[in-house]
Chains A and B, each alone.
Chain A
């Protein structure tokens, strides 16, 4: 070793004494701390608790009807977590013996949240499980439980163009309505042109409200497109490449989509014609289909009853599971309250360990971490069983 006679002070021994002082110095400093209880003033922790509550207890203050099949629920609570326009709440519901969650976009202005109010607009899905129940049962004065605001379907100026084309289908208008309010209220600063597809004039949600916002701010424009009705003042047909191109007005624009799966299938093809880079196209996530039967690549038979063996902390339970439903649905029907939020594979809250068995996870919904994939973890919200399955979950 290239050793040399190192010293800091004139005599090396003094340096060694300095070394020896480290322990007494620390002992002294530690004994000088206050004997009072620790201060609770931890700003970042308080703000985290406000922004990301584990759950929010809300009261239905008002129910607004939109025709026969949709309602807006105005929810109040104190305090409410602030949210970004485009985010959703995941509601926890008990329907019969099932304990389940459903995500719904917040349709109100972010400004409302600071006043203790959210609104969600829910449309009846004819073959749905939760939405008909909600529309039939939720009434003013009821208490409901929701998650904090979740999701990333939000405008981001560092990423998106200043002008955004919003493509909405049916109830998919709700996050855009919140964005439109946010623009009007000066909370967001971008231009939003909405191409909103409905079947008929009477199906247009928030027709008047959107028209009013478009009058109040020049930054919001709404084009209503009707597929099943030709009527003056409305475009007729579908959300086509031509219409999107026209809305872009020769500029490259970010395009946001929210609507049912059938709309995505159609519009995605139209968007291909525009040749936009992927960064300009953003889909709101959509829940995994109830049945896997029609998902491309599904190798199962979607028929019959299987056994789901669930390891829960100290015990193992066997519950029935249908071959044509998600693992999460089977858990929920058994009343096992595993964490879940988005139900579309993205949020990862339902991350679950597979002990044995096989599942089908559609590629489009598979947002698992690489290491989770390698280690056999699944997101049960978008996993369909291919046989009996044994898993470990950790209910909240």
Chain B
């Protein structure tokens, strides 16, 4: 799962004026001020210490606001964590981070985490973009490896699909138009000139509203090239007929120009670094503490009731689902009808299933040459997405051999793999409890065997540790509805651009904003960090407006 997107952070400026929010690092916390436990009051309360919540809390604290971060679990990160089995430490969900870039050519995420928030973390580059294998297309089956780098990608595509170069160049030209338009919109400080957009960024406006399939057809891209180009579709989890072109193009372009990166000590390294930074900046973090109720008066947030007592605040930044906030933490009668309609209208995003293997042979010994493998029955993504509606014997998989980017991630002589598939419906929720373990194993076995067959390797005899996470596991740790990994689907009408253009009207209850995967920049690691920052900045703007 996944690791997305990648609109410039400057795009934020399209929607509000940048605030002067430099921190006052010597600010005292509520404890140091000697306030007793009954009188907790914070400028803001963040619910959930996932990527978005951690980033939001750090951003608020950096702006000199007192902030309390609540987390029901005993450690930070949400999906961005790690777990240990035997002598292996597994990465639960990250495949690769988008928009990190090298220190010399940093992307938005590296700039946010390292420059703006000042966290310490070591990123390692992923060697190649992907190996893509399709298995049920007969003579059309694909088995290709695509590199990072714009030129390298286009050249490799031409080698696989002679005659694709022109359409690929046009595709990349559209990518550049999208990036340039977004940069212009960002730099305009919220005053983008429609005439300038139409004159200088016409291609952005002409392609930005359509689906990926529609644009690739309009570019007359050879079918095979289209199929190879769309391998990353499962990182968003909606078919290319539903997937917004601007979103996909921005993601792919970022991967090609900035590469993909992973933290050395699993994503728990980033979560821990952010957690420590929140504290350094004067923020407070409470683990094992559940936000039970959001208190409102006259439709405005006044506090949060927790398992530890009541906290006064006028601003809640929720790094959890709107279903949890409006379904579990507020009385139905206190929720404006428009808000209820909004939550009910949205489609729960893909649920993840992951098999983790600690193998007692090296990647070389096993013949695992690549880091990232996509194995689909076909590149008919509509069909493929439909297969994810239920159980099937050959689930699509996005598989990683972690050692290929992080050679020392496991002890000498071993390696780590993870196999991820997606479900578009709550099928795991209807598995009888008595069959749960065997069903997990059955799906895991299908995925491992498919991989062995398609890549031509043998893994099973070398399994030293195995763990399996299902949507039920993810529901346990994140409390997301149906264990969703991809928050609300960004297919069709609910894609990123309109979400960003509706920031103001999406906020119905004053004082509640959503960081994390349910935020405007959609789900995926990179997006959730950026959502956290965006949500904090919007909240700071709210505060400024209210004269706080």
Q: Mark A314-354, 1 if CB is under 8 A from B, else 0.
A: 11000000000000000000000001000000101101000
Contacting residues, chain A, for B441 (C-beta < 8 A): 156-158
Say yes or no for B64: interface residue by CB 8 A criterion. no
A395 touches B497 (CB 8 A): no
Say yes or no for B27: interface residue by CB 8 A criterion. no
Say yes or no for A116: interface residue by CB 8 A criterion. no
Given contacts A42-B482, A158-B463, A348-B84, whether A6 and B289 have CB atoms under 8 Å apart is no
B205 touches A19 (CB 8 A): yes
- Tell which of A23, A38, A159, A315 has the most Cβ of chain B within 10 Å: A38
Identify which of residues 388-443 in chain B touch chain A, using a CB-to-CB cut-off of 8 Å. 426, 428-431, 433-434, 436-437, 441
Say yes or no for B135: interface residue by CB 8 A criterion. no
Contacting residues, chain A, for B466 (C-beta < 8 A): 156, 158-159
Q: Given B89, B276, B426, B444, which contacts A43 in the complex, CB threshold below 8 Å? A: B426
Closest chain A CB from B326 CB (angstroms): 7
Identify which of residues 492-528 in chain B touch chain A, using a CB-to-CB cut-off of 8 Å. 493-495, 497-499, 501-502, 505
CA of A338 to CA of B475 in the docked complex: distance in angstroms?
Answer: 23
CA of A396 to CA of B202 in the docked complex: distance in angstroms?
Answer: 56
B218 touches A6 (CB 8 A): yes
Contacting residues, chain B, for A126 (C-beta < 8 A): none
CA of A238 to CA of B493 in the docked complex: distance in angstroms?
Answer: 70
Q: Given A18, A44, A372, which contacts B426 in the complex, CB threshold below 8 Å? A: A44
A26 touches B360 (CB 8 A): no
B436 touches A47 (CB 8 A): yes
B437 touches A84 (CB 8 A): yes
Contacting residues, chain B, for A369 (C-beta < 8 A): 82-84, 89, 265-266, 268
A26 touches B206 (CB 8 A): no
Identify which of residues 28-67 in chain A touch chain B, using a CB-to-CB cut-off of 8 Å. 29-38, 42-48, 50-52
Say yes or no for A68: interface residue by CB 8 A criterion. no
Contacting residues, chain A, for B323 (C-beta < 8 A): 38
Say yes or no for A230: interface residue by CB 8 A criterion. no
B82 touches A44 (CB 8 A): no
Q: Given B219, B269, B429, B464, which contacts A370 in the complex, CB threshold below 8 Å? A: B269
Closest chain B CB from A380 CB (angstroms): 12
Say yes or no for A21: interface residue by CB 8 A criterion. yes
B351 touches A44 (CB 8 A): yes
Say yes or no for A2: interface residue by CB 8 A criterion. yes
Contacting residues, chain B, for A157 (C-beta < 8 A): 441
Say yes or no for A367: interface residue by CB 8 A criterion. yes
Say yes or no for B349: interface residue by CB 8 A criterion. no
Q: Given A45, A82, A395, which contacts B429 in the complex, CB threshold below 8 Å? A: A45
A19 touches B206 (CB 8 A): yes
A15 touches B436 (CB 8 A): no
Q: Given B170, B210, B326, B428, which contacts A8 in the complex, CB threshold below 8 Å? A: B210
Given contacts A19-B208, A45-B479, whether A371 and B266 have CB atoms under 8 Å apart is yes
Contacting residues, chain A, for B385 (C-beta < 8 A): none
B448 touches A158 (CB 8 A): yes
CA of A131 to CA of B40 in the docked complex: distance in angstroms?
Answer: 41
Closest chain A CB from B352 CB (angstroms): 11
Closest chain A CB from B272 CB (angstroms): 4
Given contacts A1-B176, A50-B433, whether A36 and B344 have CB atoms under 8 Å apart is yes
Closest chain A CB from B479 CB (angstroms): 7
Say yes or no for A232: interface residue by CB 8 A criterion. no
CA of A370 to CA of B209 in the docked complex: distance in angstroms?
Answer: 44
Say yes or no for B214: interface residue by CB 8 A criterion. yes
Contacting residues, chain B, for A36 (C-beta < 8 A): 340, 344
Q: Given A18, A19, A47, which contacts B472 in the complex, CB threshold below 8 Å? A: A47
Contacting residues, chain A, for B543 (C-beta < 8 A): none
Q: Is the contact region of chain A dominated by helix, strand, or loop, or is it mixed?
A: loop
B268 touches A48 (CB 8 A): no
B502 touches A314 (CB 8 A): no
Say yes or no for A265: interface residue by CB 8 A criterion. no
Given contacts A8-B215, A367-B84, A372-B272, whether A34 and B344 have CB atoms under 8 Å apart is yes
Say yes or no for A136: interface residue by CB 8 A criterion. no
Contacting residues, chain A, for B6 (C-beta < 8 A): none
Tally chain A residues at the interface, Cβ within 8 Å: 70
Contacting residues, chain B, for A371 (C-beta < 8 A): 82, 265-266, 268-269, 271-273
- Tell which of B85, B431, B437, B499 has the most Cβ of chain A within 10 Å: B437
CA of A368 to CA of B272 in the docked complex: distance in angstroms?
Answer: 13
CA of A393 to CA of B269 in the docked complex: distance in angstroms?
Answer: 20
CA of A182 to CA of B271 in the docked complex: distance in angstroms?
Answer: 40
Given contacts A314-B40, A371-B269, whether A37 and B436 have CB atoms under 8 Å apart is no
Q: Given B170, B268, B444, B462, which contacts A372 in the complex, CB threshold below 8 Å? A: B268
Say yes or no for A251: interface residue by CB 8 A criterion. no
CA of A344 to CA of B475 in the docked complex: distance in angstroms?
Answer: 26
A1 touches B464 (CB 8 A): no
Residue of A whose beta carbon sits closest to that of B494: A26
Closest chain A CB from B339 CB (angstroms): 10
Contacting residues, chain B, for A374 (C-beta < 8 A): 265, 269, 272
CA of A142 to CA of B326 in the docked complex: distance in angstroms?
Answer: 39
Say yes or no for B161: interface residue by CB 8 A criterion. no
Say yes or no for A16: interface residue by CB 8 A criterion. yes
A159 touches B465 (CB 8 A): yes
CA of A351 to CA of B214 in the docked complex: distance in angstroms?
Answer: 50
CA of A284 to CA of B252 in the docked complex: distance in angstroms?
Answer: 46
CA of A1 to CA of B74 in the docked complex: distance in angstroms?
Answer: 50
Say yes or no for A22: interface residue by CB 8 A criterion. yes
Given contacts A45-B482, A371-B265, whether A31 and B341 have CB atoms under 8 Å apart is yes
Contacting residues, chain A, for B481 (C-beta < 8 A): 42, 45
B473 touches A48 (CB 8 A): yes
Contacting residues, chain A, for B207 (C-beta < 8 A): 6, 8, 15
Contacting residues, chain B, for A23 (C-beta < 8 A): 498, 501-502
CA of A25 to CA of B431 in the docked complex: distance in angstroms?
Answer: 36
Residue of A whose beta carbon sits closest to that of B505: A27
Identify which of residues 135-179 in chain B touch chain A, using a CB-to-CB cut-off of 8 Å. 169-170, 172-174, 176-177
Contacting residues, chain B, for A15 (C-beta < 8 A): 205-207, 209-210
Residue of A whose beta carbon sits closest to that of B172: A2
Q: Given A158, A315, A395, which contacts B288 in the complex, CB threshold below 8 Å? A: A395
Closest chain B CB from A145 CB (angstroms): 16
Say yes or no for B338: interface residue by CB 8 A criterion. yes
Contacting residues, chain A, for B369 (C-beta < 8 A): none
Contacting residues, chain A, for B125 (C-beta < 8 A): none
Residue of B whose beta carbon sits closest to that of A11: B206
A38 touches B218 (CB 8 A): no
Identify which of residues 142-160 in chain A touch chain B, using a CB-to-CB cut-off of 8 Å. 152, 156-159
Contacting residues, chain B, for A48 (C-beta < 8 A): 472-473, 475-476, 483
Given contacts A35-B340, A47-B436, A314-B36, whether A349 and B74 have CB atoms under 8 Å apart is yes
Q: Mark A93-118, 1 if CB is under 8 A from B, else 0.
A: 00000000000000000000010000
CA of A16 to CA of B203 in the docked complex: distance in angstroms?
Answer: 9
Contacting residues, chain A, for B24 (C-beta < 8 A): none
B289 touches A394 (CB 8 A): yes
Residue of A whose beta carbon sits closest to that of B428: A44
Contacting residues, chain B, for A30 (C-beta < 8 A): 341-342, 345-346
Q: List 17 A-B contacts (CB under 8 A).
A: A6-B173, A16-B206, A19-B206, A26-B498, A30-B341, A32-B341, A36-B344, A38-B343, A45-B483, A47-B429, A152-B467, A158-B463, A313-B308, A346-B84, A351-B75, A369-B82, A374-B269
A residues adjacent to B (C-beta < 8 A): 1-4, 6-8, 12, 15-16, 18-23, 25-27, 29-38, 42-48, 50-52, 82, 84, 114, 152, 156-159, 277-279, 313-315, 339, 346, 348-349, 351, 367-372, 374-375, 377, 394-396
B residues adjacent to A (C-beta < 8 A): 30-31, 35-37, 40, 74-75, 82-85, 87, 89, 169-170, 172-174, 176-177, 180, 198, 202-203, 205-210, 214-215, 218-219, 265-266, 268-269, 271-273, 276, 286-289, 308, 323, 326-327, 332, 337-338, 340-346, 351, 360, 426, 428-431, 433-434, 436-437, 441, 444-445, 448, 460, 462-467, 470-476, 479, 481-483, 493-495, 497-499, 501-502, 505
Closest 4 CB pairs between A and B? A43-B429, A33-B345, A33-B344, A279-B464
